[in-house]
Amino acid sequence: MQEFTFDAVPSITVKWGGAQQLGEFVEQYYEERKVLIVTDGSLHKAGLLEKPKLSLEKAGFKVAVFDKVVADPPENIVLECVEKAKAAGINIVIGLGGGSSMDVAKLSAVLIRSDQKLQDLYGIGKVKGSRLPLIQIPTTSGTGSESTNITILTTGETTKMGVVANQLYADRVLLDGELTVGLPKLQTAATGIDAMVHAIEAYTGKLKKNPLSDAFAREALRLLSANIVTACNDGHNKEARQAMLLGANLAGQAFANSPVGAVHALAYPLGGHYHLPHGLTNALMLGPVLRFNMKAAAHLYAELGDVVGTHAKGTEIERSKAFVEFMEKLMRETGAPRHLKEVGVTDNSLALLANDAMKQTRLLVNNPVEVTEADALELYRQAF
């Protein structure tokens, strides 16, 4: 067996309606009493914070809210959050929202206590020292950010950079499927497909694939594939919503230890240039990349076919093709767009996108098959 390390959040609680009892949850573990909730304006306006905030206040916590998080957050959002937290004397950070809110919460928990500059944190293992206590509560079943040690920030017009450090793992995660009930169908589809891509790419990772990440990826894909269509068509289905949230979390743990590859590498430029939701860009690139990787990963795709229940027989290649076809059928059933031209991508930008994808070296090294710029361009054409 190849040597490996598996890092994870130390405590995960799965509880329907748990956010309504957030004060009781937090007071079990912390003596600190000044809490900052990091979220986005739409969740705040929708009233999703009312009960969690009231519960904290009833338990004796002084609560501040930072609700300026936006999708693909730029650096200034993090810096503004840190400034507000320092002014309020915050000593506990709670990320409540989608991946962007949780990413901002991670870095804020570090920078509130640290003398390091944000620019010095980019890369792998650059964070020094400790951070404030950090709790993560996801409201979408997609990014798995609550259980990863990665934050992605927008650093320019179309560029993003990542911070990867074990200090970004939360102390505690609360998975409350009730928070995802109001998620629209398209967002349910896009975030769920994002989570499935995390599981698939973790399972086929070239460098750090290991038995534990494999186990998490398989169970994640089983839960997600069995429940995504139900969650999209019946958003109030309690079992489906909770299963999706747990599946996304398990997929997050899988790819935090066996990183993602070419699907994400080609998805990021689409987000940067066209400001498309991350989960949707993954969905658009998944089919072409799976077929491209089949030459090296057919045996693994065949195994995942058994996990999702394709019941395919025959050779590894045949079973692998059945898995890819199953995934494409599943995406069609969710109602997610299937081609780049459907979401406003123009054919004259494909070469630029391919060039930008080549900059995602951190991700491309994990792909089971080497991707050249010419390969990337052809994959975009297939997705177009």
- Print the domain residue range for 63: 12-180
Q: Which residue has the tokens 């944190």?
A: 121
Residues 143 and 53 in one domain: yes
Query: Which DSSP letter does residue 187 get?
Result: H
| Continuous segment of H or E residues that includes residue 251 | helix 238-257
Pick the last residue of a domain from 180, 198, 215: 180
Q: Is the pLDDT of residue 201 over 80?
A: yes
Query: Which DSSP letter does residue 290 get?
Result: H
**Rounded average pLDDT over 212-234:** 98
Does residue 5 sit within a domain? no
Q: Which residue has the tokens 């177009």?
A: 384
Pick the last residue of a domain from 116, 151, 180: 180
Is the model's pTM score more than 0.85?
yes
Which tens digits make up the pLDDT trace of 277-324?
888 999 999 999 999 999 999 999 999 999 999 999 999 999 999 999
Q: Coil, strand, or helix at residue 172?
A: strand
Q: Which of 256, 260, 254, 253 lies closest to 206 in space, CA to CA?
A: 260
**Rounded average pLDDT over 181-204:** 94
Average pLDDT, the chain: 95
Domain count, the chain: 2
Residues 112 and 210 in one domain: no
| pLDDT the model gives residue 126 | 97
Q: Coil, strand, or helix at residue 235?
A: coil
Calpha distance 256→348 (Å, rounded): 35
Residues 65 and 16 in one domain: yes
| pLDDT the model gives residue 69 | 97
CATH number where 109 lies = 3.40.50.1970
Q: Is the pLDDT of residue 158 over 80?
A: no
Does residue 2 sit within a domain? no
Amino acid at 220: A
Residues 162 and 283 in one domain: no
Question: In the chain, what is the greatest distance between 2 CA atoms, to the nearest angstrom?
Answer: 64
The DSSP annotation for 303-353 comes to HHHHHHT----S-HHHHHHHHHHHHHHHHHHHT---SGGGGT--GGGHHHH
Which tens digits make up the pLDDT trace of 350-382?
999 999 999 999 899 999 999 999 999 999 999
**Rounded average pLDDT over 229-244:** 97
Pick the last residue of a domain from 160, 180, 200: 180
User: Percentage helix, strand, coil, to 5, in the chain?
Assistant: 55, 10, 30
